[in-house]
Structure 1
Amino acid sequence: MGCFKVKSNDDDERERIETSKRIDKELGKCKQEYRSTHRLLLLGAGESGKSTVVKQMRILHVNGFSDEEKKRKIADIKRNIRDGIISIISAMSEINPPVHLHHPESQPSFDYCVNKKHEQEYDDVFFSHVSRLWKDPGVQECYDRSHEYQLIDCAKYFLDKVDDVRTPDYAPSSQDMLRCRVLTQGIFETRFTIEKVNFHMFDVGGQRDERRKWIQCFNDVTAIIFVVASSSYNMMLREDNSQNRLEEAVHLFQTIWNNRWLKTISVILFLNKQDLLREKILLGKSKLEDYFEDYKGYVCPEKVNDEPASVTSAKYFIRDLFIRISTATGEGKHYCYPHFTCAVDTENIKRVFNDCRDIIQRMHLRQYELI
C-alpha cells in the first residue's frame, strides 16, 4: 500500500501567512508607487494648446514620435490643410466688408475646393488648387482677418507647406506633429519620468461639452496646469460665436479656482501662444483695449528690455486678469504660478517645465503632509 503525505493544518497556516505577506508587500509597493507619482491635470478652454504641451512632454521625455505615428498623422495634417482653406474661402463672402479673389483665374480653384469640402481623400489635383488659391492676394487678405471667423491656428503653417505635404515621400517633422490640430475628446493620459520622478499628465477636452468629464480627474491631483490662449483676446468661441475666447478662459479659471473640491490644489498658469499675441499686438489691427476696456488705464508692473513695451504691457495685463482671481480671497490654501509660454517652442516648454518641477514637488509633499 502506498504512503501519502497529509498536509497538516500548520502547513496550511504557514502558506496562508506567506501569501498574505507577499500580498501586503505588493500592496505596499503599489501604494508607494502611487504616492510617489505626480499627477498633473491639464485644463483650459478649447484650442488653448493643452494637447501641444502633452506632445512636448513626449518629445522631451518619451523619445518623441515613432515613424509609424508620424505616418498616421499625415491624414490629420492634410485634413488641417483642407479645413484651413475651406474656412478661409467660405468666410470671404460672409465677413463685412466681404473679400474677393484678386485673380479671376483663381475662381476654378475656388469652385473645385468648395465642391470637395466634404471629401475625406485628397489627391494631388486638390492640393494643386489649394496651392494656387493660397497665393491669391484676396485669400491672403481674408486670412489676415481670421479673427472675424473660426480658423484653426495651424492653418497658415500648413498652407505655407502644402507643396511639401502633397509629395509622396512627405514625412512630418516634430514641429509638424506639434502644430497638427486634432480635437481632443475624452481623457488622455501620458506617463513620463524625469530624474526618477514619475509624472502622469491628463489631457481633457476643453470644449464646453467635454468639461463635464473634468470632475472624473479631480481625485488625488498634485497640481493643475491651466492653459490660456493669450492671443485669443479678439476671437470668439467656436461653440458660441457671441462669447469672447479670453473672457471664457477667465470665467473658466474662476470656476476652477473657486471649486470646493480644488481648494487646496495649486494652479500652474500657462499663458500660452505668446508668439501669436506678440504678432497681433505689433500688427496693431486688433487693439486689446477694443476688447478689454480696462486695458486703457493699465500700468504695466514690469519692463522687459528685449521686447516692445506694447507687447510687455499686453501680456502682463492678460496675466493680471487671472492673478486678481487667485488673490481675491486671501485664504492662502492654494496658489497660482504664472508662466509665459509658447507650446510649439520645445526649448521654451523645456525651460518652463523645469522651473515648475520644484513647485510641483512641493505641492506633492504638501499633498501627503510630508511638509
Structure 2
Amino acid sequence: MVIGCCTLNNISEDAKTRSDANKQIEKLIEKEKKNFKSTHRLLLLGAGESGKSTIVKQMRILHIDGFSEREKKEKIDAIRKNLRDAICVSFLKLPYVCQSISGAMGSLRPPVELELTENKRLRDYMLETASKPDFDYPLEFFTYCSKLWKDGGIQETFERSNEYQLIDCAKYFLDKALEVGAPNYIPSEQDILRCRVLTSGIFETKFSVDKVNFHMFDVGGQREERRKWIQCFNDVTAIIFVAACSSYNMVLREDPSQNRVKESLELLASIWNNRWLRNISVILFLNKQDLLTEKVLAGKSKIEVYFPHYATYQAPADTLAEYRHENSEVVRARFFFRDEFLKVTSNNNGGRHYCYPHLTCAVDTENIRRVFNDCRDIIQRMHLRQCGDDVLLFDIIVRRLTCTFDISIGFFKLPREAA
C-alpha cells in the first residue's frame, strides 16, 4: 500500500512538473508572439560596398536624431583615412586588394605619367611618407592632396578606376581635401554618408515611424562575412537586398576574377531559392544610380562589354515615356539592370514571396525618404500576412526559440538533424 502511494505521488509530481514546463513554454511562446507582432525586422543583405551601411545611416538621419556633435567629430579620423586610401595607400593583403590613385599609375597598362613633373615630389611624399602606419595627417598632407588632385595624370588615373580597386568616395573627399584638413573641420551629414568603413559582424538599428517599430540589421557583405547572415534569418519580416548597379565594370576586392554585379545576381539567386526563405519577400534596392548615370553619360565603360546582351536590350515603351525628360540611354541602363535582377526572382519555386524593385541613391536623403515611405506599406502587408498565418507564425516562433544554423559562403543550410 505504501509502495502504491509512493508511485502515485511520483506520477503526480511528474505530471505537475510537465504541466509547469508546458505553461512556461506557452508563456514564452506568447511573449515571443507579442514581441514579433509589434516589430518589423528588416535584414539588409547584399555584396560588399553595395551601400547597405549608408542605408542604415539614412535611417538614423530620417527617423532617429541623426548624428550628435560628438559622433560627427568621431568620424573625422575615418574620413581622413578615406582620403588617404584614395590618394596614397596601397593595401594588397588578401583577400582585400586595394590601390590608391598614386599607387595605381605605374601598374596600369598602359601606365600613366604625371602631367606636371614638379608634382613628382608630392606623389613621392604620398607613397613614402603618408603611407606609413603612424601617419598623423599634418596640414601639408591636405595641401598636397589638393594640388595632386588637379594634375592631369592623377585625373586620368581616376577615370580608369575600374581597372583597379578604388573606394567610391575618392572623388568626393579629394574635391574637398582642404576642408577635411582644416583644424576646425566638423563633418556634415553628407560627409558621414559618404565615409566608407568596412562592416564586420552584425549591427542592429532600432527606430520608429508613426508608432511602428523597426529593427534593421546590417551585416558585412564580403564573402567571409556571409556565414553570419543566417543568424538573422529566424524572424525577419523582409529582406532589403542592396545591389550597386554602377559596379557593372568592376570586380570584387576579394576575388578579382568576379564581376561585382554578377556576384550580386548570384547572391540574390542563392537567397531567393533558399528553402528557408521562401516566405520572406525581398525589397530590391538598385543602388548607386547617381554613379551609374555618371558612367553612362561619360561613355567610357560600355555596359555591353560586360553584359553582351545589353546591346540588344530595349527598355519597356511605357518606361521610356514615363522618363521622357531624362537621357534615354541612362533610362535604358537603369531598367536593364532592374530586369536582370527580376529575372532571378521570376520563379517562386513554390514559395510565397515577391520582389519589389526600387531605384535608389543611398547618399540622397530625400530619395531614401521617399523610397522607404513607399516600402512601409509593403513591409506592413508582409508583417500582417506573417502574423495572420498561424502555421507560419508558429514556425517562426519555434525556429526563433530552438534552431541553430550554419552557413557556407553564399549558400545556406541547416544542421543535418534539423534539415
TM-score of the pair, normalised by structure 1: 0.91
Q: Report what 1:369 is aligned to.
A: 388
CA distance in 2, matches of 1:25, 1:324: 44
Q: Cα deviations across residues 10-41 of structure 1 (Å, max 9, x unaligned)? A: xxxxxxxxxxx9xx999966742332100000
Give ranges in structure 1 of 5+ residues lacking alignment. Answer: 1-20
One-letter identity of the residue aligned with 1:65: F
Q: Report what 1:306 is aligned to.
A: 325
Structure 2 residue aligned with 1:119, among 133, 147, 168?
A: 133
Q: Report what 1:320 is aligned to.
A: 339
Size of the alignment, in residue pairs? 351
Q: Cα deviations across residues 283-309 of structure 1 (Å, max 9, x unaligned)? A: 100010010011111111121112111
Structure 2 residue aligned with 1:142, among 157, 174, 185?
A: 157
Q: Report what 1:10 is aligned to.
A: none
**Offset, 1:369:** 2.1
CA distance in 1, matches of 2:380, 2:368: 18
SS of the counterpart of 1:190? strand
Structure 2 residue aligned with 1:33, among 32, 35, 54?
A: 35
SS of the counterpart of 1:46? coil
Q: Report what 1:100 is aligned to.
A: 113
Higher mean displacement: 185-194 or 110-119: 110-119
Q: Report what 2:309 is aligned to.
A: 294
CA distance in 2, matches of 1:89, 1:258: 43
CA distance in 2, matches of 1:365, 1:160: 47
One-letter identity of the residue aligned with 1:336: C
CA gap of 1:26–1:68, structure 2 versus 1, over 3 A, is farther
CA gap of 1:252–1:242, structure 2 versus 1, over 3 A, is same
Q: Cα deviations across residues 149-198 of structure 1 (Å, max 9, x unaligned)? A: 10000010001111001111000000001000000000000000000100
TM-score of the pair, normalised by structure 2: 0.81
**Offset, 1:331:** 3.6
CA gap of 1:156–1:321, structure 2 versus 1, over 3 A, is same
SS of the counterpart of 2:239? strand
SS of the counterpart of 1:150? coil
Q: Report what 2:92 is aligned to.
A: none
One-letter identity of the residue aligned with 2:86: G
CA gap of 1:103–1:194, structure 2 versus 1, over 3 A, is same
Q: Report what 1:254 is aligned to.
A: 269
What percentage of aligned pairs have identical amino acids?
63
Aligned residues of 2:245 and 2:286 also touching (Cα < 8 A)? yes
SS of the counterpart of 1:106? helix
CA distance in 1, matches of 2:365, 2:232: 27
User: Where do 1:270-281 residues align within 5 Å?
Assistant: 270-281=285-296
Does 2:300 match 1:285? Answer: yes
Structure 2 residue aligned with 1:78, among 77, 80, 90?
A: 80
One-letter identity of the residue aligned with 1:221: V
SS of the counterpart of 2:113? coil
Q: Report what 2:228 is aligned to.
A: 213
Q: Report what 2:46 is aligned to.
A: 44
CA distance in 1, matches of 2:208, 2:29: 22
Q: Cα deviations across residues 180-229 of structure 1 (Å, max 9, x unaligned)? A: 00000000000000001000000000001101101111111000000000
CA distance in 2, matches of 1:97, 1:313: 32
CA distance in 1, matches of 2:347, 2:310: 19
One-letter identity of the residue aligned with 1:36: S
CA distance in 2, matches of 1:300, 1:222: 32
CA distance in 2, matches of 1:117, 1:208: 27
Q: Report what 1:192 is aligned to.
A: 207
One-letter identity of the residue aligned with 1:272: N
Does 2:187 match 1:168? Answer: no
Q: Report what 2:355 is aligned to.
A: 336
Aligned residues of 2:278 and 2:350 also touching (Cα < 8 A)? no
**Offset, 1:131:** 1.7
CA gap of 1:30–1:325, structure 2 versus 1, over 3 A, is closer
Q: Report what 2:103 is aligned to.
A: 90
One-letter identity of the residue aligned with 2:243: V
One-letter identity of the residue aligned with 1:328: N
SS of the counterpart of 1:368? helix
CA distance in 2, matches of 1:217, 1:30: 16
Aligned residues of 2:36 and 2:235 also touching (Cα < 8 A)? no
SS of the counterpart of 2:227? helix
**Offset, 1:328:** 2.7
CA distance in 1, matches of 2:327, 2:145: 36
